[in-house]
Amino acid sequence: MATNTEDSKDFKDVNLTEHDEVSQSQIKVALAAGAKGHTKSADVAMKLFENHDFNQVVDPTEQKRVVRKVDWFILPMIAVNYIFFYIDKTTLSYAALYGIREDLKLTGQQYSWLSSIFYFGFLAWAFPTNFLMQKFPLGKYLGANIILWGVFLMLQAACSSFATLAVLRFLSGAAEACADPAFMLIT
């Protein structure tokens, strides 16, 4: 595939020196493969690193402090959240043992649909949540989603019909959709 002049214009602001690892020929190969210049196609996260020097030396005491914070605070918090997410998956099974089918007068496959509807919400919100994580502060967005997830889970106890429980299961799935990608970005 040949490059066109429009694609080449994307790289007009790239000033290469003899010390740069990227050459003009590598840029042309990338353009031929369909890559666009970083000025038009990069996401918000890429803009954070436009002027960053990745070869700078990191202070060892600062590195130890960050690793300690990750190991002793962030990872345990993530583990606790995953435990709660697992408990959420099993609450429907426990509810079946305690009579949710009779209480909500579930018929046919409605009980089975309640498990599936959670994942429909998860799938429906997976792309928008990844986009929103780039637009909003990650910690606040993740915290808001975890709180919403907890609220939706608590409201499930007050449901009196299949429809209300299905809506809450869908919303719970949507609220939980940001957890895995956000945890990955944090660590």
Domain range for residue 37? Answer: 5-41
Average pLDDT, the chain: 80
Instruction: Please indicate, yes or no, whether residues 69 and 151 belong to a single structural domain of this protein.
Output: yes
Q: What is the pLDDT of residue 44?
A: 63
User: Is the model's pLDDT at 186 over the cut of 50?
Assistant: yes
Q: Is residue 88 within 8 Å of 153, Cβ to Cβ? A: yes
pLDDT classification of 36: cutoffs 50, 70, 90: very low
Q: What is the pLDDT of residue 161?
A: 94
Mean pLDDT confidence for 48-59: 77
Instruction: Please indicate, yes or no, whether residues 15 and 74 belong to a single structural domain of this protein.
Output: no
Nearest to 177 by CA among 110, 132, 113, 136: 132
How many domains does the chain divide into?
2
Instruction: Please indicate, yes or no, whether residues 77 and 130 belong to a single structural domain of this protein.
Output: yes
pLDDT classification of 35: cutoffs 50, 70, 90: very low
CA 85 vs CA 47, 55, 100, 175: distances in Å = 33, 39, 20, 11
98 assigned to some structural domain:
yes
Distance (Å, whole) CA 172 – CA 153: 7
Q: Is residue 174 within 8 Å of 125, Cβ to Cβ? A: yes
Instruction: Please indicate, yes or no, whether residues 32 and 120 belong to a single structural domain of this protein.
Output: no
